[in-house]
Amino acid sequence: MAVLKSRSIYFIAFFLLFFMVFPLTAKADMGPKPQITVIVKNPPNKEYYLDLLVKEERSYDNLDMDRASFDQNKLALLESYDVDGWHPGLTQGTRIPMHGKLTGDKESDVMIHTFSYVGVPDDFKIIIITPDNHSMVSQEIHRDMFNYKVYFDYNTGEITTEKITFSYIREFLLTCLPTLLIEGFVLLLFGFSLRKNLKPFLIINVLTQILLTASVGQMIQKEGHLSGYFILIPVEIIIFLVEMLAFSLLLKEYSKTRRALYAFTANLLSFLAGIFLLLWA
């Protein structure tokens, strides 16, 4: 591949820097809100109601429909449930608003129940009012991720949850693999031999991606994407400086200035791509 002329390389770096200095902004209220998704396996064929049991004040009525439109027998069971301080959050209320509905959405052979917004609890139980008006209550569950998935087997009452370790691994792969592709392409664009520089290229990028996942990734899993973006810039500045120094010392061709300019350009491109990739993490 032909090597770009020095003026072209400097122009690309300046063009990318412009977008870093003048980033897009968004209102904080537009950010994502916490969510609990309950996936019911082996659901009954007839209508049942599902709510989250919480231990907190009943300040907000969270039902999305007029109470007269519900099955009154099932609704009465939820409205009267209060055991050791646990009560249904949608039906009886929460301290701050929570969105959701008592009926789920069918998807393939499971039912999906989604609870969201700022009132989503950290600790909760699942209560189901069966088609024949009996109640099923799960053990207490602790939400340790911003977007939390719970699998409930209707036949056995067994609860399984998504492991946070798996989420970290998925997030690392989601950001690391595209980074290697983007920065590898830029390495060739700057005229470096991938074969001669493969070892430092892989080591530096994998280590900095581990740093990114351990800091920004952890914040996203715990507090959501908006919180993750608050620390993304300072973490990326550290990564920029570390990679510019490391690549200027460890790459095997051209001057240190060209190596550092490569590191800056490659990081800026992967940073811009990473902003969008983190939305899927």
Residue-wise pLDDT tens digits, 126-181? 999 999 999 999 999 998 777 889 999 999 989 988 776 776 677 777 788 888 99
Is the pLDDT at 106 greater than 70? The verdict is yes
Q: What are phi and psi of 169, to 5 degrees?
A: -65, -45
Sorted by where each starts, the structural domains of the chain and their CATH numbers stand as 6-29+164-280 (no CATH), 33-161 (2.60.40)
Rounded average pLDDT over 79-94? 94
Rounded average pLDDT over 218-232? 61
Of 53-57, 144-148, 186-190, 263-267, the poorest mean pLDDT is in 144-148
pLDDT band at 233 (very low <50, low <70, confident <90, very high): confident
**Chain-centroid distance, C-alpha 183:** 24
Helices marked H in the chain — which ranges?
A: 6-21, 72-80, 89-92, 164-189, 194-212, 218-223, 225-250, 256-277
Rounded average pLDDT over 105-128? 92
Of 45-59, 77-91, 112-126, 266-280, the poorest mean pLDDT is in 266-280
Task: State the Cα–Cα distance between residues 256 and 89, nearest whole angstrom.
Answer: 61
pTM tops 0.75: no
Contact (CB, 8 A) for 36 and 52: yes
Residue-wise pLDDT tens digits, 39-48? 999 999 999 9
DSSP assignments along 198-251, one per residue: HHHHHHHHHHHHHHHIIIIIHHHHHH-HHHHHHHHHHHHHHHHHHHHHHHHHH-
Q: What is the pLDDT of residue 170?
A: 74
Q: How many CA atoms lie within 13 A of 94 on its CB side?
A: 24
Task: State the Cα–Cα distance between residues 213 and 207, nearest whole angstrom.
Answer: 10
Residue 65 contacts by C-beta under 8 Å, 6 or more apart in sequence? 101
